[in-house]
Amino acid sequence: MSTGGIGGRVSIVGTGYSEVGRDTGRTEGSLAVEAALAALDDAGLGAAEVDGLAVYPDRVSDPFEGPTIGYLHHALGLGELSWWQAFGTGPAQLAPLLQAVYAIAGGGADVVLVVRAHVRQRNPFYVAGGRAAAENPSGALAFRAPYGAPGGAPRLAMWAQRYLHVYGRTDADLAAVVLQCRDNAQRNPRAAWYGKPLTEAEYYASPHIATPFRIVDCDYPVDGAVAVVLTRADRAADLERPVQIESIGHASGPSIEWELWPDLTSMASAQTAAQLWSSTSITPAEVDVAEIYDGFSWLTLAWLEDLGFCDRGDAGDFVASGATRLDGRLPICTDGGQLGAGRLHGLGKVATAARQLRGQAERWQVSHPEVALACAGGGSMAGALLMTV
Amino acid sequence: MIHTFTVVGRQFVDGLEPPYVVAMVELDEAPGVRLIANIVGSAPDDVRIGAAVRGVFQVLDAEVGLLDFELVRDESSVA
């Protein structure tokens, strides 16, 4: 598979966060502007230099809603753009960043601002189920919502259950991921679970939300925005501490429909990883820090295996061994991840990885990393990128 | 046959109260096809991967029905 020779042609030059919290009382637009301005400031660039804008989530095609791209363009005072796009789906919420890489590499834009902004849903039942869903079938949801599995936890729980069954593993594997994320979050004052560590006993006492997932196996919905500034590598050379994008992956795997996926023990992360590694000479052993997706604890295990960091069925042991702790050989979810710091979708992973490489990771800084990986997604949605300094 | 399943312990959609079991069911008659369905008529703890199941219709009204499955031990009519 091809990623079109991206290697070294596009750089990350700035990242920024908004306030992140359970109940900020703010709008998506306000959070988006705060993160975008912070990212531009971090990059040493002004709004006048931005000629590309990519936003996730859009307001129409995804269960998650963000600000309109039109609002953001206006609120930031951006000028005429060479390229712009709002995204609702695609490779795992990393679509806006991955497509921005292509836009820059293909000459369609020079400086692209990528923003993820979201205010958590206050209504837990935003999808109709049962009889209401059966009587008003809507797209692919018609096959899931009437049975109470619209998406998220129940849907991925079935993958995790199959994985545990096939490899003879237990929920101790899931616990290892959650406990590490909550532990890392204790270093990050921006983390949703900062000051609230989790013990093993508390993990097992947490109620099942959809077996094998307990509620603490699910990432923590928060209000928040994160932004990343990308530019051409030659232009980035004039800026401070640019991060080079070495390779990217965004493959679908054999089925975009999750329910028809042949082998539920691995995800599109397998095909995406193959694409990622096929376009670089860097090997998994050379990765210094990996911001592995943890929308649900099991996704982290699947990604670790699909990326080749450990053998099939061994990810739980790999995490429990301490290999993925901040002082281990492959630190993951260094800021606490989505399980410990809060859900910022894939772009939070990219920002965290870039900040590690730029030496900006505060109390969760890994010692002098030179190669970082960020990935996001579950099921047939997967996106990943490998970065270097 | 139940390919995989989850016992849902929290309400996710309007109109369906937990606990309930959601499964991916494979049909002997249609290899490669999986149906999302509820497993009804048994305690959630009795549901296992690999268990044989039989389709049962939940009739909502004259025009709308849902296909559920129940556990069976009678191998003569399994899905």
Query: How high is the pLDDT of residue A1?
Result: 45
| Residue B6 · residue A147 · CB < 8 Å | no
Structure tokens at A188: 């990050």
Of A144, A161, A212, the CB nearest to B36: A144
CA-based nearest residue to A174, from A266, A317, A298:
A298
Q: Chain A residue with minimal CA distance to B45?
A: A211
CA distances from A204 to A207, A321, B21 (A): 8, 19, 21
DSSP tally for chain B: helices H, then strands E: 0, 5
For chain A, positions 259-288, list CB contacts with chain B under 8 A: 259-260, 262, 264
Quick one: closest CA in B to A151, which residue? Answer: B12
Cβ-nearest to A145 among B13, B37, B61: B13
**Tally of CA atoms within 13 A in the half-sphere of A340 that contains its CB:** 31
Cβ–Cβ contact B62 with A under 8 A = no
Beta carbons within 8 Å of A189's beta carbon, 6+ residues apart: none
Q: What pLDDT digit, counting tens, does each position of B39-73 carry?
A: 999 999 999 999 999 999 988 888 888 899 999 97
Contact indicator for A370, A388 with CB cutoff of 8 Å: yes
Contact at CB, B9 and A211, closer than 8 angstroms:
yes
Per-residue DSSP letters for A193-257?
TTT----HHHHHHSPEEETTEEGGGB----BEEEEEEEEEHHHHTTSSS-EEEEEEE----S-SS
Are residues B12 and A129, on separate chains, in Cβ contact within 8 Å? yes
Which residues 120-179 of A have a C-beta within 8 angstroms of B? 124-125, 127-135, 143-150, 152-154, 157-159, 161-162, 165
Interface test with B, best of A158, A215, A264 (most B CBs within 10 A): A158
CA of A196 vs chain B CAs: smallest distance (Å): 23
Check residue A120 and give its pLDDT.
86
CA distances from A178 to A68, A83, A250, A287 (A): 33, 39, 26, 22
CA distance B3 to B31: 12
Say whether B23 and A158 touch across the interface (CB within 8 A): yes
Reading the block at residue B12, the tokens are 């996710």
- Write out chain A's pLDDT in tens, 389 residues: 445 568 889 999 999 999 999 999 999 999 999 999 999 999 999 999 999 999 988 765 555 667 788 888 888 888 888 888 887 766 668 999 999 999 999 999 999 999 999 888 776 666 677 777 777 766 777 788 889 888 789 999 999 999 999 999 999 999 999 999 999 999 999 999 999 999 999 999 999 999 999 999 999 999 999 999 999 999 999 999 999 999 999 998 888 888 888 899 999 999 999 999 999 999 999 999 999 999 999 999 999 999 999 999 999 999 999 999 999 999 999 999 999 999 998 899 999 999 999 999 999 999 999 999 999 999 989 999 999 99
DSSP code for A264 = T
pTM above 0.90, yes or no: yes
How far apart, in whole angstroms, are the C-alpha atoms of residue A304 and residue A108? 34
A10's tokens? 């596009």
Q: Whole-number mean pLDDT of chain B? A: 89
H/E segment holding residue A348: helix A345-357
Q: What is the largest CA-CA distance in chain A?
A: 60
Q: Which of B14, B60, B65 sits opposite A129 (nearest CB)?
A: B14
User: Any residues with CB less than 8 A from the CB of A110 and at least 6 apart, and which?
Assistant: A49, A51, A52, A82, A104, A231, A232, A235
